[in-house]
């Protein structure tokens, strides 16, 4: 039996996810959202006292910033752009005729200045770069956004539109690597509280092409990315539900992010895949939250 389809069908049958006709694009029930809200409160319990500046960006970002970020060069297979009708009345007549004849009306669409946000932190770097130099003691940001990755799948843990909660740290190399390690430790404690069996392993981003394979190997060799893995649809291939990333000075150099002493800032982030964590909880504890272990319910809802 295909465990991915089995879990997805059970989530549909329970009304926790709502089918839209597109793989990886689902509605969510109030109960599903309540689990995510509970887990976000747990995140706040662990990170709230750190004093991060909370920023919430929309799920679309400036196309020029997106292009400068280099995302399209590294991950063209995942990117999503926003196109729109930009024609005149005659073009509209042609559009209507095309649709009446079941033609491809999308050919008349043109790219706008908006692209779909690929990761919650991407709009942050140009934003803080415009503010000027970062304090020598560093800076911390709390983000949450819907993100888009074009990878349709029957695996409910691999959605095309999903939410990512992030903490991003900007500072010296020592500062941001200490931040990353502290969240790796916190991540294990958080998952213990909600009764999930996890492991942390070195990982790499899905860079595209031959050059991408070299970048992925370098990323793994330098231990720049770790993932917290939880069995969701497969115990043999657990799902990455949290990631811990050290970007070195890549974003600092790209966006001219400098510390007060003039040195290029280093950055690191911890990311929580909110839908994936909720799915891990449902897969492990069952689809009826009233039947979840009391200590899990207490961790999420008090």
- Report which of 145, 143, 149, 150 is spatially closest to residue 163, judged by C-alpha positions: 145
CA atoms within 13 A on the CB side of 266: 17
Query: Which positions ≥6 away from 276 have C-beta within 8 Å?
Result: 157, 162, 230, 232, 239, 240, 241
- Predicted TM-score (pTM) of this structure: 0.94
In a structure prediction context, what are the per-residue pLDDT tens digits for the chain, which is 302 residues long?
Answer: 455 568 999 999 999 999 999 999 999 999 999 999 999 999 999 999 999 999 999 999 999 999 999 999 999 999 999 999 999 999 999 999 999 999 999 988 999 999 999 999 999 999 999 999 999 999 999 999 999 999 999 999 999 999 999 999 999 999 999 999 999 999 999 999 999 999 999 999 888 888 888 888 988 989 999 999 999 998 899 999 999 999 999 999 999 999 999 999 999 999 999 999 999 999 999 999 999 999 999 999 99
CATH 3.40.228.10 correct for 3-80+118-301: no
Query: Which positions ≥6 away from 250 have C-beta within 8 Å?
Result: 267
What residue ranges do the domains of the chain occupy?
A: 3-80+118-301, 83-115
What separation in angstroms does the CA of 16 have from each of 26, 65, 145, 154?
A: 10, 36, 21, 16
Judge whether 23 and 153 are in contact, CB under 8 Å: yes
């Amino acid at each position: 039996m295909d465990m991915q389809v089995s879990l997805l069908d059970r989530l549909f049958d329970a009304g926790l996810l709502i089918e839209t006709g597109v793989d990886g694009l689902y509605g969510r029930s109030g109960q599903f959202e309540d689990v995510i809200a509970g887990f976000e409160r747990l995140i706040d319990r662990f990170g709230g006292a750190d004093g991060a500046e909370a920023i919430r960006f929309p799920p679309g970002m400036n196309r020029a910033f997106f292009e400068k970020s280099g995302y399209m060069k590294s991950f063209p297979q995942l990117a999503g752009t926003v196109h729109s009708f930009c024609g005149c009345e005659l073009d509209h007549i042609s559009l209507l005729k095309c649709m009446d004849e079941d033609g491809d009306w999308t050919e008349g669409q043109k790219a706008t200045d908006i692209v779909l946000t690929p990761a919650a932190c991407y709009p942050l770097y140009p934003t803080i770069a415009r503010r000027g130099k970062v304090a020598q003691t560093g800076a911390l940001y709390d983000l949450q956004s819907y993100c888009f990755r074009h990878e349709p799948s029957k695996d409910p843990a691999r959605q095309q539109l999903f939410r990512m909660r992030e903490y991003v740290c900007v500072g010296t190399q020592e500062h941001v690597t200490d931040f990353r390690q502290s969240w790796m430790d916190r991540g294990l404690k958080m998952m213990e509280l909600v009764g999930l069996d996890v492991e942390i392993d070195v990982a790499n981003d899905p860079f595209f092409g031959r050059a991408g394979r070299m970048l992925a190997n370098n990323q793994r060799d330098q231990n720049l990315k770790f993932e917290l893995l939880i069995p969701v649809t497969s115990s043999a291939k657990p799902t990455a539900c949290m990631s811990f990333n050290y970007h070195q000075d890549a974003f600092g150099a790209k966006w001219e992010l400098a510390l007060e002493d003039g040195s290029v800032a280093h950055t690191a982030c911890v990311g929580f895949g909110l839908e994936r964590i909720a799915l891990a909880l449902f897969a492990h504890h069952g689809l009826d939250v009233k039947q979840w272990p009391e200590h899990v319910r207490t961790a999420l809802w008090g």
